[in-house]
């Protein structure tokens, strides 16, 4: 993966870390037509974010411990 894509994964994880995001918001905000820029899918596969169901909110994307560690290790 390119350095640019890795930076975008870091940006994405930081964005999600601010607050759990509704699945629909993530899809709408981070959608791309470029098959080489699958930022939120890459973050999920690497274990930085995960889907979870939250009462009253429904399906959300939230940062995992691995994602928190990524942010700390990168000064964010």
Q: What local confidence, expressed as pLDDT, does residue 1 receive? A: 45
Burial 48-68 (b: 16+ CB within 10 A, else e): bbbeeeeeeeeebbebbeebe
d(CA 63, CA 51): 9
**pLDDT in the model for residue 4:** 56
Task: Flag the least confident range among 2-11, 20-29, 46-55.
Answer: 2-11
Stretch 53-71: mean pLDDT, rounded?
92
Domain boundaries, the chain: 3-73
**Candidates 3.20.20.120, 2.170.130.10, 3.30.1360.120, 1.10.10.10; correct CATH number of 3-73?**
1.10.10.10
């Amino acid at each position: 993966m390119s350095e640019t894509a890795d930076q975008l994964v870091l940006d994405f994880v930081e964005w999600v870390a601010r607050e759990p995001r509704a699945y629909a918001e993530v899809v709408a905000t981070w959608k791309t037509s470029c098959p080489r820029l699958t930022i939120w899918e890459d973050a999920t596969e690497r274990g930085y974010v995960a889907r979870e169901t939250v009462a009253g909110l429904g399906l959300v994307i939230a940062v995992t411990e691995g994602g928190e560690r990524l942010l700390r290790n990168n000064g964010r």
